[in-house]
Amino acid sequence: MIAIPADAAQLLFYLLLALTAFLYASVGHGGASGYLALMALFSLPQQVMKPTALLLNILVSGIAFLQYYRQNGFNTRLFLPLAAASVPAAFAGGLLTLHGALYRQVLGALLVFPAVKLMGWGGTPNPKTKHAPRWQLLLLGAVIGWLSGLIGIGGGVLLSPVLLLSGWANAKTTAGISALFILVNSVSAFGGQWVQGVAVTPQMAALVAAALPGGLAGAYVGANHYSSGMLKKVLAVVLIIASVKLIFS
């Protein structure tokens, strides 16, 4: 297991955190799955991982949403039913705590989804957008919202493939919807954590500060048609390694 002393290893961790924020913000995501993977690889305590990932999500997804919204990358009709179902579900999920091996195994399994997406696997996006039934949006929002609150992610890595592959939104609109979806779910899930007694610590604040430059840069270049294909594949490998470590440790 990798430890984080207060020297070069800690600096490396912060740099990787900023890079993760950059990559995720560039596609309209908050990055919780990446942050959780890094924290797992560097063996941060479990009680720190979930609330910290949610705080980082709130920061980075908020930045990403503003950039994509300015580039007309948003659809209110799609977003509202998703959020209406996901926000209360995320709060409910945030009230729950998975302990020890169960948390690591569930998190490890979920990390496979963003890894697959970053590698470009899992199907081809539908080139034509079509109508999304409201009941399907509500059901999708509720399921992803609950999982988001339970694990400490925003749900964008689960939502965006569905929007793209179903043909409900194009890539830019999906990025904008995912960013705001992640933001509202992360706020709701952190509210559930707050009710459970979780507080913001100096360590969490330091991690948020480290991710800020990456999130700002990634959101800007992502909204202006920047592609970071190779780096995304590298991040996918990191997620897979973390997934294996979590499931089998």
Q: What is the dihedral of CA 6, 9, 15, 20, to 10 degrees?
A: -120
Confidence of residue 249 (pLDDT cuts 50, 70, 90): low
C-alpha distances in angstroms, 235 versus 132, 215, 230, 231?
31, 15, 9, 6
Q: What's the CA gap between 16 and 97, in Å, rounded?
A: 27
Average pLDDT, the chain: 81
**pLDDT tops 90 at residue 146:** yes
Helices 229-248 + 100-110 axis angle, to 10: 150
Tokens of 183: 């933001």
CA proximity to 183, closest of 59, 92, 67, 53:
59
pTM of structure: 0.79
Confidence of residue 124 (pLDDT cuts 50, 70, 90): low
Q: What's the CA gap between 156 and 160, in Å, rounded?
A: 6
**80 located within any domain:** yes
**CA dihedral (160, 164, 165, 167) positive or negative:** positive
Residue 109 belongs to domain spanning: 8-248
3-state secondary structure of 196: coil
> What is the mean pLDDT of the segment spanning 26-34?
79
The whole-number pLDDT of residue 85 equals 95
> Lowest mean pLDDT: which of 2-6, 78-82, 103-107, 214-218?
2-6
Q: What's the CA gap between 195 and 96, in Å, rounded?
A: 11
Contact 154, 30 (CB under 8 A): yes
Burial track 61-78 (b if 16+ CB lie within 10 A, e otherwise)? bbbbbebbeeeebbbeeb
**2 located within any domain:** no
Tokens of 117: 């997406």
Number of domains in the chain: 1
